[in-house]
Structure 1
Amino acid sequence: MIDVYSWPTPNGHKIHIMLEECGLQYRAIPIDISAGDQFKPEFLAMSPNNKIPAIVDADGPDGKPIALFESGAILIYLASKAGRYLGTSDREKYQTLQWLLFQVGGFGPMLGQAHHFRIYAPEKIDYAYDRYSNEAKRLYQVLENQLTQHAYLAGENYTIADIATFPWARSAANQGIDWADYPNAKRWFDQISQRPAVQRGLAVLAKQRKPLTDANAKDVLFGQTQYAKR
């Protein structure tokens, strides 16, 4: 059994979807990031960066429990454990990993900033708004260019690169993206949306998430609570 400490955000959805795609047994344990659960000592012991998701696999590589944080590392671990969605040849694996790193290093952090400055910033800062909105468009164009040539990000097969990237694209409108400008990326997005395992993964913990309107929740996520020394 794999315990998944998570919340229904793009990074959480990655792992929920992967587990559903692989058919691995798991239990989803909510970490309400708007309530500050990510700062509790027991969670920090698994995820010292105070970010979801984290997992504990009772049946680790050596038969002993293993705890992991960082969604990209978790995806690689689960792909290796299940023998799926990483590619079979060395070439396929490296192609998959480069696109996975494209997501964790850019198509995620930069889109998160675009989302923040467009939706949640207490005041509009034109420089930040334009910088991250333009970077979002640039990143979607990278996606579009690749998907003009291939069915999926790493080639013709669905991989953890797609599983990692797809949840971030669900907020395209909030990132200032018009799908009409990226028809091949939209084709890819729609195709993945229809996968039953993806739909099941997106439903995990979904009913527990609430709109982010509470001032205390915003402070936990964006204010001094986030930056307190621990």
Structure 2
Amino acid sequence: PIATKWPAAHPDRLQLYSLPTPNGVKVSIMLEEIGLAYEPHLVNFQTNDQLSPAFLSLNPNNKIPAILDPQGPDGKPLALFESGAILIYLAEKTGQLLPSDAARRYETIQWVMFQMGGIGPMFGQVGFFHKFAGKDFEDKRPRDRYVDEAKRLLGVLEQHLEGRAWIMGEDYTIADIATFPWIRNLIGFYGAGELVGFDKFPNVARVLAAFVERPAVIRGLDIPKRPA
């Protein structure tokens, strides 16, 4: 059913259904990094595409991103949602950006889960209370709760990145792809850098700067194109 709303020009390629949000660009950046052929489709929230029967046939949770890989395991099509799961799948499919050593593989997945369970939800709440409707609430305790947790999470990452080029040391991995779009969004789109005291996290800032300079990241941050 997804193809009725978003017809594939190249049905032999992996199909990406997304929007350039922090979660969405994780997958476009990953695809650009690994060089896997794919076709992006814009899921426009302005017209509630994510609630359409066609999209819900692929992702009943009505969130982006989602993929449909015509060449999934055993050569059979695979539909997949949840950005962290997609990152792990693409890494294992191509043998890239996820260590083959078992211990380091699980350590990398650990940091992906750290982003999925902590950084993403908490930074998103900071964005709501700081930039969007939450800023009008007179009671600032909900905002401060999420700001404090965002600071704590940044502190965990700051300490971990001391002496490391990337989250897993010298190796750039899916943990970085999962994490740094959200940090970029926190201080950029949400404008919450001063609120969370971002200048107190120089290691995080250093690695973020290296991340956004990567050619694949520059391309992936703009895929799919936002609606006009």
Task: Using structure 2 for the length normalisation, give the TM-score.
Answer: 0.88
Q: Which residue of 2 aligns with 1:60?
A: 72
Q: Which residue of 1 aligns with 2:215?
A: 196
**Equivalent position SS for 1:59:** coil
How far apart, CA to CA, are the structure 2 residues paired with 1:153 and 1:46? 32
* 1:177 matched to 2:191: no
Q: Which residue of 1 aligns with 2:114?
A: 102
**Equivalent position SS for 1:8:** coil
Q: Which residue of 1 aligns with 2:182?
A: 168
Q: What stretches of structure 1 of length at least 5 have no aligned partner?
A: 210-230
Q: Which residue of 2 aligns with 1:155?
A: 169
Deviations 1:167-194 (A, max 9, x none): 1011233333343211111110001111
Please list, as runs of the form range in 1=range in 2, the aligned pairs for 1:18-167 lying within 5 A after superposition: 18-121=30-133, 123-124=136-137, 125-167=139-181
Q: CA deviation at 1:34?
A: 3.0
Q: CA deviation at 1:104?
A: 0.4
AA at the equivalent of 1:18 = M
Matched length: 209
Instruction: Indicate conservation of the 8 Å contact 1:117/1:129, yes or no.
Output: yes
Instruction: Indicate conservation of the 8 Å contact 1:15/1:74, yes or no.
Output: yes
How far apart, CA to CA, are the structure 2 residues paired with 1:47 and 1:207? 20
Q: CA deviation at 1:91?
A: 1.1
Q: CA deviation at 1:136?
A: 1.0
Q: What stretches of structure 2 of length at least 5 have no aligned partner?
A: 1-12
How far apart, CA to CA, are the structure 1 residues paired with 2:169 and 2:79? 31
How far apart, CA to CA, are the structure 2 residues paired with 1:177 and 1:44? 36
How far apart, CA to CA, are the structure 2 residues paired with 1:72 and 1:54? 11
How far apart, CA to CA, are the structure 2 residues paired with 1:206 and 1:185? 28
AA at the equivalent of 1:36 = N
How far apart, CA to CA, are the structure 1 residues paired with 2:85 and 2:185? 23
Q: CA deviation at 1:165?
A: 0.5
**Equivalent position SS for 1:208:** coil
**Equivalent position SS for 2:74:** coil
Q: Runs of 4 or more off by more than 3 Å in structure 1?
A: none
AA at the equivalent of 2:146 = Y
